[in-house]
Amino acid sequence: MVHRVGWDKQGIFLLLSARFVAKSSNEKRFRNSGPEGYVFPVKKVLSSTVGVAMRFRGAVKFALNIGIFLCAYLAAFLFRFEFSIPPEYVVLIRQTVPVVLFCKAFAFLAFGLFQGWWRYVTIRDVMPIAGGCTVGTLVFVGIDYFLMGHVSVPRSIYVIDWGITLLLVLGARYFIRFGRETFGRRRGEADRRVLIVGAGSAGQMIVREIRENPSLGMIEVGFVDDDRAKLRTKIDGVPVLGRHVDIPELCEEHEIDEIIIAIPSAPPSRLRHILDHCRDVKAKARILPSVGDLIEGKVSVRALRNVDLEDLLGRDPVKLDDDLLHRHITGRTVMVTGAAGSIGSELCRQLALLSPMRLVAFEIAESPLFDFEMEMRVRFPTLELIPVIGDVRDRGRVEEVMGAYRPAIVYHAAAYKHVPVMEMHPVEAVKTNVMGTRVVAEAAAEFGVERFVLVSTDKAVRPTNVMGATKRVAELVIHNMNGLGRKTVFVAVRFGNVLGSVGSVIPIFRRQLFTTGRLTVTHPEASRYFMLIPEAAGLILQAGAMAEGGEVFVLDMGEPVKIVDLAKNLIRLSGKELGVDADIEYTGLRPGEKLHEELIVEGEDVSRTNHPKVMKLIGSEKMPASWMRDLQDLAGLAAAGNRFGVVEKLDTLVKGYSPMYEFHGASGPDAVSPEPERPAAPVLPFPKSLH
């Protein structure tokens, strides 16, 4: 039913008084009760009007531009005749206005100036607008001279009209943008005060997005930049307040809530330098991804990520010998064991980039392998990926797979790696880390694999735990297999911890921080070597391609990092304060743990290779005559489930191993080994630390 509005005196009075009624109404609606009971919702009508205008914004913008053209043409005559237009020129205006409007509309249409959003106008829009104004004026001049001989427009009108049109068109657009950025956004008390590191193009784009999106809840306070030419200047109206070294003082002076590092091209070493200056401030730091992760022109606040501990590590990207890697991998069949693990999966990703003929992903864990296969199918649709479920301890399964696919290169990353878990289960550690390595290595030799690369660990150096001892025996297993008439080249690559791997210290710290708020650290002086997963995987590929046989390569891990420093940095980077929002609890070293890790053992030294990040051990442990018998004894003890016997035999096989006999149920190496069928001694409880 359609109601008609009755605009009587009472209705007009109520309409004028609605402003005061609306203030106390939650819906902010004005109800005008006329003779027919008509309800007049003011805000709804306005919203509908705006909605219609937005729906037909092309027509609205066309009409506004036509109005600007008309005003500019009339203003040109007013300025030309000092605001007193002679009557004969009034007639001229009436005759030429349709032509002027047509010429300018045609030119603006040709330059696409009826499209786009005025609120997003930038300096780049000046040239197209100037071009449209110029072409429109030239077309009008041509029509006037050649087709309208009966009229004579003063030549100065062309120039004045062109200038006024350009000023009004640009002015209207910039006025709308200025009004939206200045008056259209409402500053809230909860808006975060932001300091932007980097006054380059990325930083300027961040400022523009903050201004154009009030919903982000940010206020741009200023820039910091080390370019002396920019200091004490303003860029896009935002002051450059100081240099990187001034960040702590600026944060305190301007009450900064958040620091945005907008230098996507910064190398890790420079990023670490900047973050060092953010170390003692309460403001949360966020960072733009690297240039390789950003689509050109898509720098956005929404692309910001939190600063990670990987950024603080400050390791520059590793440059690999691509020609060498392509020669060894492209067009070949490659097999990776432990393919769904942290290192194994990254090896597969980097191998896929080298275009192998076939990639065999051997993994015991079903769900991780399924997830990894789905990822690889999406990222590398043309890769012939062969996901295989299997156990490296199962000789029959390993030989079946190698016989079926005949890999040229095998990267053996399958292993048990958690020190405390393996200390509790030494038998299983031997079965997988030692006997599993032996099974895969012997199958590789049998089926003519050209290169076998063992992924080892720094915990194999003077080990104090079962995991490290078993990895050292695995190194000795492949060392003993070199030569002996086999064509397979066996090599080991030794490195330290990788940040972000499953079960490593960083994920544990993050979980503790956001659950209990207590981060557990074993010892205030405990330190470890760290590197990034992609860096480690790339160097493993590099070392494997460089191998000639029997080497143990050591990756350059940089300087060791204190675990407690990682914990403190994580607390700070998460926007929390140590002692207020989070605490660090020291729990003591766990069984088998060392205070510091090493990369070489006594009697070994390292020499440089062709790659600056890969070193080769000089000198290695000579195998005693009883080596094979002791290895067989170790396998027998593991098969029998003899916990103490396994630890004792590892002590015999590994030089420098210092087992914790008391933890394993005996008082020392001279203690009598329990019988295999006798239950193992009770396991001592672990400290509370999870890493």
Given a contact cutoff of 8 angstroms between Cβ atoms, the answer to whether 288 and 200 are in contact is: no
Q: Using CA atoms, how far apart are residues 588 and 520, in angstroms rounded to an integer?
A: 9
Query: Does some domain include residue 509?
Result: yes
Q: Using CA atoms, how far apart are residues 506 and 116, in angstroms rounded to an integer?
A: 47
Q: Are residues 476 and 599 in the same domain?
A: yes
Q: Are residues 332 and 424 in the same domain?
A: yes
Q: Are residues 276 and 358 in the same domain?
A: no
Query: Does some domain include residue 338?
Result: yes
Given a contact cutoff of 8 angstroms between Cβ atoms, the answer to whether 226 and 252 are in contact is: no
Q: Are residues 227 and 144 in the same domain?
A: no
What pLDDT, on the 0 to 100 scale, is given for residue 33?
A: 42
Contacts of residue 397, defined as CB under 8 A and 6 or more positions apart, other chains included, come to: 390, 391
Query: Does some domain include residue 674?
Result: no
83: left (phi over 0), alpha (psi -120 to 50) or beta: left
Q: Tokens 């100081």 map to which residue?
A: 242
CA–CA distances in Å: residue 380 to residues 294, 322, 356, 477? 20, 19, 11, 35
What pLDDT, on the 0 to 100 scale, is given for residue 505?
A: 80
Radius of gyration of the chain (CA): 37
Mean pLDDT of each 10-residue bin along the chain, 691 residues long = 40 39 40 43 52 64 88 93 89 90 90 72 82 92 82 88 92 79 60 90 86 83 92 89 93 92 81 83 80 50 71 70 92 96 94 96 96 96 96 96 96 92 93 96 94 91 90 91 79 83 77 89 87 88 87 82 85 78 88 76 71 77 79 93 92 86 62 44 41 40
- Complete edge-to-edge strand list for the sheet that includes strand 333-337: 385-389, 358-363, 333-337, 409-412, 451-455, 489-494, 552-555, 614-618, 605-608
Q: Are residues 333 and 471 in the same domain?
A: yes
The structure's pTM equals 0.66
What pLDDT, on the 0 to 100 scale, is given for residue 30?
A: 37
Q: What is the CATH number of the domain that holds 254?
A: 3.40.50.720
Final residue before a domain boundary, out of 148, 182, 216: 182
DSSP state of 684: P
Domain that holds residue 228: 192-307
Looking at the DSSP bridge assignments, the partners of residue 287 are: 261, 305
What pLDDT, on the 0 to 100 scale, is given for residue 118?
A: 66
Q: Using CA atoms, how far apart are residues 689 and 302, in angstroms rounded to an integer?
A: 36
Given a contact cutoff of 8 angstroms between Cβ atoms, the answer to whether 468 and 459 are in contact is: yes
Q: Are residues 382 and 275 in the same domain?
A: no
Query: Does some domain include residue 598?
Result: yes
Q: Are residues 424 and 447 in the same domain?
A: yes
Q: Are residues 552 and 425 in the same domain?
A: yes
Final residue before a domain boundary, out of 162, 182, 202: 182
- For residue 42, count other CB atoms closer than 10 A to its CB: 16
Final residue before a domain boundary, out of 55, 70, 91: 55
Q: Residue 219: helix, strand or coil by DSSP?
A: strand
Give the side-chain half-sphere CA count within 13 A for 258: 20
When divided into structural domains, the chain yields a total of 4
Which contiguous run of DSSP H or E holds residue 470? helix 466-481
Query: Does some domain include residue 611?
Result: yes
What pLDDT, on the 0 to 100 scale, is given for residue 113?
A: 81
Separation of CA 60 from chain center: 43
Q: Are residues 386 and 493 in the same domain?
A: yes
Given a contact cutoff of 8 angstroms between Cβ atoms, the answer to whether 225 and 231 are in contact is: yes
Token code pair at residue 119: 């609120």
Q: Are residues 119 and 252 in the same domain?
A: no
Q: Are residues 421 and 486 in the same domain?
A: yes
Q: Are residues 436 and 563 in the same domain?
A: yes
Query: Does some domain include residue 669?
Result: no
Query: Does some domain include residue 153?
Result: yes
What pLDDT, on the 0 to 100 scale, is given for residue 670?
A: 47
Query: Does some domain include residue 494?
Result: yes
